[in-house]
Homo-oligomer: A and B are copies of this chain.
Amino acid sequence: MEPKFNVWIEREGQVVMSAWRADLLSAIDETGSISAAAERMGLAYRRAWEKIQEMEAGLGVSLLDTAVGGPGGGGAKLTPQARDHLDRFRAFSAGLEEEIRTRFAESFGPEQASR
């Protein structure tokens, strides 16, 4: 048996961060564009864009600096607020898996945990 978990952050009932959303922001950061990030995540561009819009609305901040058109098409990079929000979420979720595994072994015992 093994414990599984999902953790996310809401503001006024709106999801403003999750592991999946953090991965989307990281993918935009690494690829420099929403479309390349969407492709890497196996998402439609439109869905990636909508998720970013949702997060921005929930947080009340801009998450991306976007450049439209030009040679090679537009690009997108994270705003300082987006980077801060992403870093805080990564810090928040880091260690949580280990904590959950420890609590699981305490409650179910190492022998149950390995079944």
Contact = CB atoms under 8 A, between A and B. Distances in A.
A74 interface: no
B115 A92 contact: no
What class of interface size applies to chain A in its complex with B? Answer: 20 to 34
Oligomer: number of copies: 2
A11 B5 contact: no
Nearest to A99: B99
27 contacts: A1-B9, A1-B11, A1-B16, A2-B9, A2-B10, A2-B11, A3-B7, A3-B92, A4-B7, A4-B8, A5-B7, A5-B8, A6-B6, A6-B7, A9-B104, A9-B108, A88-B107, A88-B108, A88-B112, A91-B106, A91-B107, A92-B103, A92-B104, A92-B107, A92-B108, A99-B99, A99-B103
